[in-house]
Amino acid sequence: MRLKIISCLCNGEKNVSQLLTEVDTTQPNMSQHLNTLYRGMRAVARWVATASADESAATA
């Protein structure tokens, strides 16, 4: 399900209604998957920021 959502979003920004026309699921289920993807992307962004800061400190 999440891979289908990501695939749809690779073609450009879409709102939930537009995603629902392309992915066969309910609105509550779509919202739950979008929330999980959002939390995962935030975790990756924090990890990248921490790794970059650690690398900068090591080279200073």
pLDDT of the residue at 18 = 96
As a whole number of angstroms, the longest Cα–Cα distance in the chain is 51
pTM score of the predicted model: 0.76
Domain boundaries, given as residue ranges, for the chain: 2-59
pLDDT of the residue at 31 = 96
- Pick the residue with more confidence: 55 or 8? 8
Cα dist. 41→24, 38, 51 in Å? 23, 5, 15
pLDDT higher than threshold 90 for residue 9: yes
Can you give the chain as a three-state secondary structure string?
A: CHHHHHHHHCCCCCCHHHHHHHCCCCHHHHHHHHHHHHHHHHHHHHHHHHHHHHHHHHHC
**How many C-beta neighbours within 10 Å does residue 5 have?**
19
